[in-house]
Amino acid sequence: MESVVNTAIASYYTDKKVFVTGHTGFKGAWLITWLHLLGAKISGYALAPEEAGLFNTISSHISFENNIADIRDKEKLQQAINDFQPDIIFHLAAQALVRRSYEIPAETFEVNAIGTANLLEAVNKLNKKCTVIVVTTDKVYENRESDYHYKEEDVLGGYDPYSASKAAAEIVVSSFRNSFFSPAKFAVHQKAIASARAGNVIGGGDWNKDRIIPDIVRSLMDKQPVPVRNPNAVRPWQHVLEPLGGYLLIAMLLDQDINAYSGAYNFGPLPDDHLPVKELVETALACWGSGTWDDRSDAEQPHEAGLLKLDINKAQNILNWQPKLESKKAIEWTIDWYRQEKENVVDFTLQQIKNYQQL
């Protein structure tokens, strides 16, 4: 069945016009690279990339339009979308870091909630058929800190500004769906929308501050112990290609049948494959072949969820989506990427996508 799905996706995206917000970020760079391999026509809209990161490595090797702009600039965003006339939009632009959200809370809400509203208002003014996938996070749920797998219909919430802003983005999506993009009136507006709630993604090319994989790699390169803030915290780890494959799949299916596929979907590992941070770190060190870690737990540090698990039954049953890489294999793929020589990184990135498609 997987080969049939992969063939359908490859055929579907050939020559499709795909608009990607946040294309200069970690997930966005992987997505536009995959879309390039699928033969899509791509237009990206995002802030300038960080100096390090996958985008600066891969961008000169793929074909896409590059709009460097702020998602909060409503007029510029609307103009970019109207000029491109996309068939599909993947909305990934975000302030995506929990700890940074404590430093810039208002800006985090502006980018994540108002930015999503700006995008959907521009879509509402677009005079053509368009499918929209809004990417939020596994942290949109009101976390009970219990051994429970969150389902799409569970209560939204968010302790920290990042999580709350993403829950707010989900409410924005629901409001636009009800107010402007009702599946019952698709023949009139021709807009289909779904949201995707992905787990903690890992993969090559992520150099963000306060993220566990970049912290591990920087420490190993500097021959220093890895600082681990929350060693016992449990997360739904997954390789970045897992949710991206889900986003590509939703957009294709939603375009075919809005009534069957509109809504929100969780993407994460299988129920018994949620690992504590310390196990991820120890697996990464084993893959690297050396290194140690230090427990940097601090009761005074900003709050981060201690236990978070996702229920992926809806994606499995409705989309026929399945995770292909167990958590430890995802860690292995990630560390393999960082171990590559600089001149091999582009080819290795392309090959990982091709290998993933063949699983």
Q: pLDDT tens across 106-125, in order? A: 999 999 999 999 999 999 99
| Predicted pLDDT of residue 1 | 41
Q: 50, 29 in Cβ contact below 8 A? A: no
Q: Is the pLDDT of residue 303 over 70?
A: no
- Pick the closest to residue 165 from 115, 128, 238 (CA basis): 115
Q: How many CA atoms lie within 13 A of 38 on its CB side?
A: 28
Q: What is the pLDDT of residues 78-107, one digit of tens each?
A: 999 999 999 999 999 999 889 899 999 999
All residues at 6 or more sequence positions from 321 whose CB lies less than 8 Å from its CB, including other chains: 245, 246, 249, 265, 267, 312, 315
What does DSSP assign to residue 183?
A: G
| Predicted pLDDT of residue 2 | 54
Structure tokens given for 219:
């420490």
Q: 350, 340 in Cβ contact below 8 A? A: no
Q: What are phi and psi of 157, to 5 degrees?
A: -165, -140
| 156 three-state secondary structure | strand
Structure tokens given for 172:
């924005």
Q: What is the pLDDT of residues 170-179, one digit of tens each?
A: 999 999 999 9
**pLDDT band at residue 217 using 50, 70 and 90 as cut-offs:** very high
Structure tokens given for 117:
């509203």
Q: How many CA atoms lie within 13 A of 39 on its CB side?
A: 8
**pLDDT band at residue 10 using 50, 70 and 90 as cut-offs:** confident
First-to-last alpha carbon distance for the chain, in angstroms, is 11
What is the Cα 280 distance to its own chain's centre? 19
All residues at 6 or more sequence positions from 289 whose CB lies less than 8 Å from its CB, including other chains: none
**CB-neighbour burial class of residue 72 (10 A; exposed 0-12, middle 13-18, buried 19+):** middle
Output the CATH code of domain 2-202+236-269+310-326: 3.40.50.720
Mean pLDDT of 189-195: 97
| Predicted pLDDT of residue 44 | 98
pTM equals: 0.95
For the chain, strand residue ranges (E) read: 17-21, 41-46, 65-68, 88-91, 130-135, 149-150, 191-198, 200-202, 226-228, 234-235, 237-239, 263-267, 275-276, 293-295, 309-310
Q: Is the pLDDT of residue 3 over 60?
A: no
Q: What is the pLDDT of residues 259-295, one digit of tens each?
A: 999 999 999 999 999 999 999 999 999 999 999 999 9
Question: What size, in residues, is the chain?
Answer: 359
All residues at 6 or more sequence positions from 199 whose CB lies less than 8 Å from its CB, including other chains: 138, 235, 236, 237, 238, 243, 266, 267, 268, 269, 310
Sign of CA dihedral 266, 267, 271, 276: negative
What mean pLDDT, rounded, does the chain reach? 94
What is the Cα 309 distance to its own chain's centre? 16
Give residue 22's identity as a one-letter amino acid code.
G
- Pick the closest to residue 76 from 134, 118, 23, 133 (CA basis): 118
